[in-house]
Every structure is written in C-alpha cells, then in structure tokens.
Chain A
Amino acid sequence: MPSLNTPTVLVVDDEEMVATALRNFLRFETPYRVLAFTEPETALAALGQEAVDVVIADFMMPGMDGIEFLRRVRESWPQTTRILLTGYADVENAIRAINEAGLYHYLQKPWNNDHLKLIVRNGVERSALVNELDSRLSALESANVELLELRNRLIRALL
C-alpha cells in the first residue's frame, strides 16, 4: 500500500481504455499512487483534494481540451509536472501547450512504456525539487525577516 508520502500521478483521458491502460502500467511498474479519470472536471476536483506530483492529460477531450486542463492545473497547482498525451504530431498545439500550460513533456499515442516511465520518474523528481526549492525559499524568507527584526532591535538598543 502506498503511504501518504508516496508520489502521486494523475491521469485524465476521456477514453476509459486509455486511462485504464496508463493506470495499469504505472501501478504495475512504478511505486507511485495512480489516480485515473475520464472527465477533466472530476480530475480538477480531485486535484483540489490531494497533493499530486505529475499530471498526464489527453489532448482531445470533449468539454475541455488537454491544454486548457493543464493550463488550469498550472494556475492552481504550479508545482505539478504537466504532461500532454496526444494522437497528433501537431506543432501548433505543441507550442500552445508549452506556452500556455508550461508543459514538461509531450507524449504521442501510442506511447512507449519505458519512455513513459522515465518521463514520469523525472517528473516526480522535478516536482519534489520544486517543492524543496519552495520550502527552502520560504525558510530563507523567514530567516531574512528574523534578521531584519534582529537588526532593528539592535539599532533600537544602541540608540
């Protein structure tokens, strides 16, 4: 059973067989916790409930395409690693995805599982590093605040 600290991967594809195939592979071959969804809205709701490290979204989905989905993910959970899965080698959409959704990787269907595993593992590490950087930065900031306070107290004591 994955513990609370187990990295989590979220998959969303409107085609259930694709979502399930991705989930099956990742559960079989990686230690990560895997959440699979067929509706972007439900997936967004789940992201509001739990910490997710890597998000894999299909491009062509009714209602909300993968780029729009990942754009929203970036907006609310910028530390996640975002991967787009697509049936097309479409330069225009690739550029849109990189610019709008801050894409980490562009994966083409049918995907290669070894490749997928590598990308997801790197994505999990990347998210961990970003989180680490975030906490170091905030530690630095609070240290800085303390330092300023100390300085002010010193100045007051000396005057």
Chain B
Amino acid sequence: MSDVFGAESQDALADAVNAAKMATLGMLVAGVAHELNTPLGALHSNHDVLKRALARLQAILADETVDRTELAEVRRIVAALGDILKVNDLAVERLVQLTASLRTFGRPDRAQIDRVDLHQSLEAALSLLAHEMRDRIQVVREYGALPEVECYAQEIGQVFMNLLLNAVQAITDRGVVTVRTGTLDRAVVVSISDTGVGIAPEVLPRIMEPGFTTRGRRMGMGLGLLTAKRIVDRHGGRIDVQSRAGAGATFTVILPRNLATGGDT
C-alpha cells in the first residue's frame, strides 16, 4: 500500500504522525504522573515521619539519660521506623519499575537494532497503560515461549503501545484485552485482542490508511495503526486484522525472528 504515500503528501503525513505521537504522549504523561503519585505520596509522607521520629529520638537523648517511659517511647518509634522502611522499599521498587518502562519509549535518537525480549516490550507498554485500564479493563496474558527478536526496540515498543492503546480505546465500558504470543515457523507472532466495539466490514480494509479514524476529526488521531503498519513493514513483517462490528478485534503482528532475513514470513 505504499502508493498512498504520494511524495506531495509526505510532509503533511509526517506532521500528522508527529501530532499523533504528541497526542499519545500527552495521554501517557497524565497516566504516568498519576502512577508516580502513589509511591511518591507514600514516600513523601514517610519521609516526614522519619524527620519527626529523628527529632523525638534526639529530644529523648538530649539529657543523656533514658528513663523507663522514654525507653517505651524509643521502642515505639523503632517499631514505627520498621513499618515505614517496609513501605519505602515497595515505593522505591515501584518507582524503579516505572522509570524502566519509560526508558523503553525514550531516546528515539538512539534507535538501533537490538535483540529484544518482546514480552518485556509488551509489559512496558502495559504498565504505561495501567492507569487507562485500571478498574475497567482486565488484561489476560497468554504468553508462549519466544526467542529474542532482532529489531528496532523503540519502534516495536511503539507498535505494541499503539495497538494496545487502540484496544483500550475500543472498549467503551468494561472489557478484556488478551495478549497472546508464540512462534509460527521462523516468525514470531504477537496478537492483541479486545472485546470492544469492533470494526464494521466496510471499514475494515481502510483502517490502515493515513488519516483514517473513527475517533472524530481531531488532527493526529487515527495514525496509530498507520505508524504501526509502517514500522512492521520495515521489519519485513505484517499486521493482520480480524474483527466484526460489536464483537471486538484482534490485531496480529507477525515479525521475522531475524531482521536480516526480513520478509521470510
């Protein structure tokens, strides 16, 4: 379908793709800010309690003697400190995971070919969408054994993000997103299914055309699939779509294991 990218429309298309990226980014940043708030809120409060605890201990030690009442107070403080450190461990661990997920999507200037664990890319995208899905969407993982895949890690991360985002947005109320992985001959297969609104048959052939969208006419929307298709094309793979109106959709990404043997699917 490279004929749809006429030379005269390349600039407009590039602008639109950038706008699509910014729209996705804006939404993700809001979600990530909220995800950060949980561990940060706990750490913020605990840090304050640590300062108060230190002040009390210093006050008790100030006169060089510790009586029985003070000893009981010291014990109480020490117990509280233990509780606080346990929560801080969890909070710090959460922050480390969150920044690791973000790193997968950063550094577009350093895009290079890597050997990638696709499950890690999927998990990174899922953790960034956790806020969007939270109490309304259940994620089912049916992961098979996958070899490491030679690809542009950033770009493949973006493909998963775009497909997962579409799946999430196709579900208007509550639903399920199922992620399946496996191998097929010399290719790896990742499919993302949703129980959302589905795609009408007359629309299905057009969904990967530039600018096609069912989400209003806002500039930059509807380019997620196009971007995903271009990236997967560049890797010598393809994206298949199955859907019926009202019965959800499944997007299947088929990638060659090895970029050098691209097209061998």
Contact = CB atoms under 8 A, between A and B. Distances in A.
A21 B80 contact: no
The A contact surface, by secondary structure, is: helix
B91 interface: yes
Given A17-B87, A87-B37, A113 B80 contact: no
Interface residues of B, number: 24
B38 A27 contact: no
A62 B131 CA distance: 11
B34 A87 contact: yes
Contacts of B134: 60, 62
Contacts of A15: 38, 42
Interface of A: 15-18, 20-22, 24-25, 27-29, 60-63, 87-88, 109-111, 113
Interface stretch (B5-13, B48-56, B105-113): B48-56
A22 B80 CA distance: 12
Contacts of A25: 45-46, 48-49
Interface in B180-210: none
B84 interface: yes
A41 B254 CA distance: 44
Interface string B83-105: 11011001100100000000000
A27 B94 CA distance: 25
B41 A109 contact: yes
B39 interface: yes
B135 A61 contact: yes
Q: A-B pairs with the 5 shortest C-beta distances?
A: A62-B135, A110-B44, A110-B41, A21-B42, A17-B42
